[in-house]
């Protein structure tokens, strides 16, 4: 990797729910009532280069949003660390949280929930830069108008409230708010998922334009494989809190190495007639509270062998710039052979 600016090193994130009083009392009698631990992220390591857009793909419960929030400094990792230019992203309760977290900005899925309905969008945009003194206060108004124009809205819209905008326009405002902080890294969490098809293309085009003009570095979190292919340089596939495959986008789509990645591609409906059969993945996504032993995908994997039930596969190299966590890739065993 040339010049990675963002490093995610062995990051794990666990959420613990303590039992309530009633559960503890019942627990005394039944032996239950212990804290419930959700393993949202387990030992995830990634590097993102300057100007790169890294796609994070997976189904619900795979930890992709948790990863985005750890990178944005919203959650502190339980283990491991995230660094930007070698300096750790702020941890909760630490003194320097203010300075560091402004360098990573997040754009959320639902622009109806992420904008304050009682603030004019101009005020929403100005709040962060003003607080962090990123822009001299006499320039704020002009800068906000320029930002609105940059995301394809009119400068005069600064005096409007969010309810006066459509969904696509609100998402443009959310993007402008993130850019107002002059971030080094953007985290987009399902940023186009709630938009109508015709509006989604507008916002994707805007993102690609901004990326070209500003040289943005971004984590693009999405469940939509075709959108990810369109805008990302590399793609990480996650399953139940772990990274299972990492590859340049063109290679991943042409030749997926992990059985989960292949199965995911096979179950996505594509526009085009004639395709009638869904090669569906069997079974359900297991609970992250009680993940299966060994490879988390083994209960649903058509190629699983005895070793897959016992041993967690490590992320290993599978070509130039490609990594995959699957026993089938181990020790030169080809993807069609049985696991060693």
Please say which residue, 12 or 109, places its beta carbon nearer to other proteins: 109
Q: Based on the shown chain and the rule CB under 8 A, indicate whether residue 199 belongs to the binding site for other proteins.
A: yes
Q: What's the closest the beta carbon of residue 333 comes to other proteins, in angstroms?
A: 25
Q: Based on the shown chain and the rule CB under 8 A, indicate whether residue 202 belongs to the binding site for other proteins.
A: yes
| Vertex 72 angle, CA 249 and 159, to 5° | 105
Separation CA 261–CA 241 (nearest Å): 15
Separation CA 74–CA 89 (nearest Å): 10
Q: Based on the shown chain and the rule CB under 8 A, indicate whether residue 2 belongs to the binding site for other proteins.
A: no
Piece in contact with other proteins (CB under 8 A), picked from 37-45, 66-74, 271-279, 321-329: 271-279
Piece in contact with other proteins (CB under 8 A), picked from 72-80, 126-134, 136-144, 263-271: 263-271
Among 37, 49, 208, 303, binds other proteins (CB under 8 A): 208
- Put the strands of the sheet holding 36-49 in their side by side order: 36-49, 4-17, 79-84, 87-88
Separation CA 128–CA 144 (nearest Å): 11
Task: Name the E strands within the chain.
Answer: 4-17, 36-49, 53-57, 79-84, 87-88, 104-107, 185-189, 217-222, 234-239, 242-248, 316-317, 323-324
Binding string, residues 227-246; x marks residues near other proteins by CB under 8 A: x-xxx---------------
Separation CA 144–CA 149 (nearest Å): 9
Q: Based on the shown chain and the rule CB under 8 A, indicate whether residue 110 belongs to the binding site for other proteins.
A: no
Q: Based on the shown chain and the rule CB under 8 A, indicate whether residue 168 belongs to the binding site for other proteins.
A: yes
Binding-site ranges for other proteins (CB under 8 A): 59-60, 166-169, 196-202, 204-205, 208, 223, 225-227, 229-231, 249-250, 263-264, 266-282, 284-285
């Amino acid at each position: 990797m040339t010049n990675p600016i963002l490093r995610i090193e062995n990051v794990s994130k666990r959420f613990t729910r303590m039992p309530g009083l009633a559960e503890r009392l019942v627990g005394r009698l039944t032996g239950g009532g212990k804290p419930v631990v959700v393993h949202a992220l387990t030992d995830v390591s990634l590097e993102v280069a300057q100007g790169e857009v890294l796609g994070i793909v997976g189904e619900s419960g795979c930890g992709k949003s948790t990863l985005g929030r750890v990178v944005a400094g919203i959650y502190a990792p339980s283990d491991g660390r995230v660094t930007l230019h070698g300096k750790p992203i702020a941890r909760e309760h630490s003194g320097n949280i203010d300075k560091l977290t402004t360098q990573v900005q997040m754009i959320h899925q639902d622009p109806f929930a992420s904008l304050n309905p009682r603030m004019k969008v101009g005020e929403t945009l100005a709040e962060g830069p003003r607080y962090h003194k990123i822009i001299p206060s006499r320039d704020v108004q002009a800068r906000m108008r320029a930002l609105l124009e940059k995301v394809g809205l009119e400068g005069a819209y600064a005096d409007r409230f969010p309810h006066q905008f459509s969904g696509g326009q609100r998402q443009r405002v959310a993007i402008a708010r993130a850019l107002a902080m002059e971030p080094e890294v953007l985290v987009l969490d399902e940023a186009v998922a709630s938009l109508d098809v015709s509006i989604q293309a507008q916002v994707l085009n805007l993102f690609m334009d901004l990326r070209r003009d500003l040289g943005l570095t971004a984590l693009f979190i999405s469940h939509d494989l075709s959108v990810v292919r369109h805008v990302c340089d590399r793609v990480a596939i996650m399953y139940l809190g772990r990274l299972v495959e990492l590859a340049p986008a063109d290679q991943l789509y042409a030749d997926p190495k992990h059985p989960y990645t292949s199965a995911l591609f096979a179950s996505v409906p594509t526009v085009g007639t004639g395709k009638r059969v869904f090669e569906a993945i069997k079974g359900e996504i297991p609970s992250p509270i009680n993940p299966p032993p060994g490879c988390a995908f083994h209960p649903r994997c058509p190629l699983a062998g005895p070793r897959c039930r016992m041993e967690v596969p490590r992320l290993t190299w599978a070509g130039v710039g490609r990594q995959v966590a699957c026993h089938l890739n181990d020790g030169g065993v080809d993807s069609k052979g049985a696991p060693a």
